[in-house]
Structure 1
Amino acid sequence: SSDNQQGLVFIEQYASRVTCYSSQYGHVNGISYTANNLVGPPSRFPAYGDFPETYVPRTYGCWWKESSVIFKGKNEVDQTGEDFIDVQFQKPVYPYCVNVYETYNSGCVRRLWAGDGQGNWKLFHENPVKQSQKQSQIFSPEPHHLLFLTSLIRIEIDGSFADYYPEVDAVLLVGTETYLAPEESVKLSVLGLYAKVVGLGLHRLVPGFNILESMQRLCFTDKLSQDASVCHLSNLPEEILRVILTLLDLRSLCSLACASSLFNKICKDSVLFTAVNLKPYWHCVNLLSLKWLGARSQCLQYLDLSWCGSYGKFSSSDFSWFIKQYGKRLRILRLENCSFLNNEALYSISTSCPYLQELNLRGCRDLESTAFWHLGKLHVMERLILDSTQIELPTLLVSLQSMASLSHLSLGDCQNLSLLGSLDEISRWLNRHRPGIISLDFWRSGHLSNHGMEALVGLEHLRELDIGWCGLPPNGNWISQLANRCRSLEKLFLTAARIVKDADLIAIAQYCPNLKQLDVLGNSYITWEGCSRVLDKCRKLRLLDVSYCCQIEAIHVANWRRTYPNVSIKRIFVNEED
């Protein structure tokens, strides 16, 4: 704790535990790159580099969005970060400042939220999306007091423009047990900024300019309203207006509905709500929101409720009611990190959504394994995303039997599938019953034996395959066989696959001309010759990750970047970065 001249006691505290997170790069039972590394004070800051003691989300950049097999969905003007993590502190305070210690590819913190643990949130700070920086930093927005008692902070991370994985070391919350009056809060902020300006000598740049008076005037003066030009859209035929309104996002539709009785009527047209993305509004979606949407959902086909309903904002019964009433036309349902889901909710989905083609349950870690039995009723399913769930092998195989059109299966980080032989069984089943599958993700979900690899290379229509951090058999020349048989591959992630050799890269270069992304991080055998062959032959390549490949030198990467400027080549090695 620390005092200031106004007599307030500022309490400084680091996170005491992690309550929820969207994804993590590390193993759920491990200690490297996991969410729990945010607990306590910084362990590596102010050092800059790739440190296992930090928190790292699973993805970065644009690469995971560039799938050619996943429906992109509807974008909103208001966008969330790509990931979030909720951290709890021991003592509730009125927040004044939040410091986020970034140690690698900093600048990816998008928003900071204060929560009350009951589903209510207040935005503390919002940061524009920007390119990551090659330095460690303490992300600390301008201090201001928030009239909201909290011991829960959500950090939204957006690595869309990050050059590599962003890493966070710790989170510090500064606040008071009593609320600081608004005028005192502004005064402290202005004085703090003034001290920084004086410290830098900037107050002397313009003679006669009173910077403190100017800052106070800016802080206390209301913004002048500007006259808006009038556009007589109401004169257009309703049919034309409906076409125009289909281009609007949800927030714009709601705003336009308040403009006039005519627009209020048109904006209720269910045709405008065939695709609804509520993920950007996760912090305010509740039962009333679902009821409001229900009145407009007669044509609903796409619904994204990812991140919604946390901490009791709405219940499983509320969701089940909505799905039973309005789910009969749904084709796509995305429910990433939805903690309200349970057996009742999945039963409602399976019985009320007969035309569902995509179901995304990524990150629903609390969903009991028995609930997944209901998936077997979804007979037209094409894209099933179950990363970081408790799905078990018998349940999965029985459910897949009814999905004759399955083309995409994502099972990354499913710990109940890490039992010996599980991935082999899944591969053999797919080979026998779904040989036309085009996208498969096994990331960190166990081991593949020779039998499993034999089945896997028989999936000749594969366009995307991620077997990163999976144990692979040391013999059998399987990667070369995979390249030879699966010649349509566009994405191949072989992260930490120690068995890959130059001969495999040469096979990839020879047989996979459409390859766009290749990850061979952590390989000891490949050399610059094999990588050069891939770069030369795979003309559509856009990403090559050779980090921690001990035989790839910095000079090789520098030469490649000059020769192949359209390829993003990643290399870090023992905190040495190119």
Structure 2
Amino acid sequence: MSPVFPMLTVLSMFYYMCLRRRARTATRGEMNSRRAIESNTRALPINVEIVQYAKEVLDFSSHYGSENSMSYTMWNLAGIPNVYPSSGDFTQTAVFRTYGTWWDRCPSARLPFKRTPPTFCSQDYVELAFEEPVYPTAVHILETYHPGAVVRILACSANPYSQNPPAEVRWEILWSEAPTKVNGPQARQFTPCIKQINFPTNLIRLEVNSSLLDYYTELDAVVLHGVKERPVLSLKTSMIDMNDIDEDEDEEKYGCGMDTLNKQFSIVTLREWPTNGYFDKLPYELIQLILSHLTVPDLCRLAQTCKLLYQHCCDPLQYIHLSLQPYWARINDTSLEYLQSRCTLIQWLNLSWTGNRGAISVSGFSRFLKVCGSELVRLELSCGHFLNETCLEVITEMCPNLQELNLSSCDKIPPQAFNHIAKVGSLKRLILYRTKVEQTALLSILNFCSELQHLSLGSCVMVSTY
């Protein structure tokens, strides 16, 4: 054998060993770098859940306690629990004004509005502000006595502590359910399964219905769980109920947002059809009767189908009684402007809970009443924080036939503004609960409103008691 071949064999073996060592070194390097990446990944901050109690109570519709006291008032919902997990009647809790059905059966009870959607059953509300805006993952409500009143939980896109208010305020329903009766008055932590939303929030609204309760419900605290970064929706453990998804799809399909609702109110271009089928054979009054069973959004949707139904849906006779309270989160100046031509014969109008955070302006409200106020007999404006003295002056001038006026919890109206109410001599019912009415204005109202039968002055701290 030639001496060259052993040399080549040795060189080949040496080269092979070098390649193996290089391969091992590379493999170890890759493993080390992989371990480094994994360790760095573990070191990165994860999306930690933030747990916070309500910092402040921003707004509410009613409470059992007095404005000058802390007993049974909504302000007790701010901060850490005072009572929970104890059960019983404690003055340190938040208590709404009513319970059961006796409030609706008493002689001073108000008649319900027609066309109220069956899904809207809220009677009272409270809005809570939290320190940090988060994407909610859970809401815990600590109920200490006769639980079961909460029927809806909402989140708001507006940050109450921001110096720059958003151009549009959006409310999203986290959870909603019909009233249910809970067996027993014992304390509980109510944690409904909420759906995920696509914006962070630090403003939570609870809406309650106490009609099935045997006594006042008492709330101690509200805990908001959430994360700073928007969570990715898991396919395995979804936090959204399928019924909620269907409702959301319906909202997108039918357009329940503020802009879409306003478009439904507006005039749309309709296609001309040669005939209207069997509708041409029905009497006008019968079609009107059928349409009277529709809710306001359904009426607006139907108006976009054909000219015949558009004429029926825009007939002012369909808007004799109009309640916009169920749609409080979507009503603004544009909505009122679109409704003006349809409400020229309106007699009952419910704008309770609407218009807050700049949705309805004084000028927009005044324009609407100047067109639609002449036939008004009943006007509900509970919790209308946009109302001021100008609004009351417009009401007394444009609504000469007004018999019922509800201004409960309209705490932005100055004391001197209530003197204008004395100009409405036809008033029979006046609700001034939680307002700043003074004794001078009250005496003037009693003197000139000779037909007044029902007067509510609960929690009017500026009226002296004897």
Q: TM-score, normalised by structure 2?
A: 0.77
Q: Aligned partners of 1:70 and 1:32: how far apart in 2?
A: 26
Structure 2 CA distance for aligned equivalents of residues 384 and 92 of structure 1: 40
Is 1:50 matched with 2:96? no
1:317 counterpart SS class: helix
CA distance in 2, matches of 1:303, 1:158: 22
Is 2:66 aligned against 1:27?
yes
| Aligned residues of 1:279 and 1:308 also touching (Cα < 8 A) | yes
Q: Distance in 2 between matches of 1:258 and 1:173?
A: 42
Verify: 1:125 aligned to 2:182, yes or no: no
Which residues of 2 match residues 148-547 of structure 1 at below 5 A? 148-181=199-232, 183-184=233-234, 187-189=236-238, 235-417=281-463, 419=464, 446=465, 448=466
Partner of 2:33: none
User: Which residue identity is paired with 1:106?
Assistant: P
**Partners of 1:70 and 1:38 in 2: how far apart?**
29
1:132 and 1:163 in contact (8 A); partners too: no
Q: 2:174–2:194: 8 Å Cα contact kept in structure 1?
A: no
> How far 1:71 sits from its partner (Å)?
4.1
Q: Deviations along 1:246-276, whole A, 9 cap, x unmatched?
A: 2333233234324443222210101000110
Alignment correspondent of 1:212: none
Amino acid paired to 2:131: Q
Distance 1:260 1:377, change over 3 A: same
Deviations 1:44-102 (A, max 9, x none): 11222211111000101111111334440414024241110000001111222211111
Q: Which amino acid aligns with 1:102?
A: E
1:205 corresponds to: none
CA contact (8 A) 1:49 1:103 kept: yes
Q: Deviations over 1:525-554 (max 9, x none)?
A: xxxxxxxxxxxxxxxxxxxxxxxxxxxxxx
Q: Deviations over 1:34-53 (max 9, x none)?
A: 11110112221122221111
User: Paired residue for 1:97?
Assistant: 138
Note closer, same or farther for the CA distance 1:50–1:71 as it changes in structure 2 (3 Å cut). Answer: closer
Larger radius of gyration: 2
Cross-structure match for 2:195 = 144
CA contact (8 A) 1:95 1:148 kept: no
Which structure is richer in relative contact order (CA contacts within 8 A, separation 6 or more)? 2
- Alignment correspondent of 1:15: 54
Q: Is the 8 A contact 1:143 1:189 kept in 2?
A: no
Deviates more, 1:86-95 or 1:240-249: 240-249
Aligned residues: 384
In the alignment, the residues of structure 1 paired with residue 292 and residue 98 of structure 2 have an alpha-carbon distance, to the nearest angstrom, of: 31
Instruction: In structure 2, give the amino acid aligned to 1:26.
Output: G
Q: Secondary structure at the match of 2:422?
A: helix
* Pair 265,137 (structure 1): closer, same or farther in 2 beyond 3 Å: same
Equivalent pair of 1:120/1:313 in contact (CA under 8 Å): no
- Please tell me the residue identity of whatever aligns with 2:150: V
Pairwise CA distance, 1:313: 1.5
SS at match of 1:30: coil
Q: Any idea what SS the aligned residue of 1:9 has?
A: coil
Paired residue for 2:148?
A: 107
- Does residue 1:85 correspond to 2:121, yes or no? no
On the 8 A contact 1:61/1:163 being kept in 2, the answer is: yes
Q: Distance in 2 between matches of 1:150 and 1:12?
A: 13
Give 1:41's aligned amino acid: I
CA RMSD of the aligned region, Å? 2.7
Q: CA deviation at 1:366?
A: 2.0
| Cα shift at 1:157 | 0.9
| Secondary structure in structure 2 of the residue aligned to 1:282 | helix
| 1:468 aligned residue | none
DSSP 3-state at the match of 1:26: coil
Instruction: Give the secondary structure class of the aligned counterpart of 1:295.
Output: helix
Classify the secondary structure of the residue corresponding to 1:283. Answer: helix
Q: How far apart in 2 are the matches of 1:252 and 1:397?
A: 45
Report the TM-score when normalising by structure 1. Answer: 0.63
Cα pair 2:428 2:451 within 8 Å, conserved? yes
How far the C-alpha of 1:407 sits from its partner, in A, is: 1.1
Distance 2:182 2:406 in 1: 29
Where 2:408 maps in the other structure, the secondary structure is coil
Show the counterpart of 1:502: none
**What's the counterpart of residue 570 of structure 1?**
none
What's the CA shift for 1:120?
2.7
Q: CA deviation at 1:292?
A: 1.9
Distance 1:58 1:96 in 2: 30
1:357-408, Cα deviation, whole Å (9 max, x unpaired): 0100011122111111111111111111111111000111112222121111
**Do the aligned residues in 2 keep the contact of 1:122 with 1:148 (CA within 8 Å)?**
no
2:131 alignment partner, SS class: strand
Distance 1:354 1:223, change over 3 A: closer
Kept after mapping to 2: 8 A contact 1:275/1:303: yes
Per-residue deviation at 1:341? 0.5
**Percentage identity across paired residues of the two chains:** 36
- 1:189 counterpart SS class: coil
- Flag structure 1 segments of 5+ consecutive residues without an equivalent: 194-214, 225-230, 420-445, 449-578
Q: Give the 3 Å change call, closer, same or farther, for CA 223–337 of structure 1 in structure 2.
A: closer
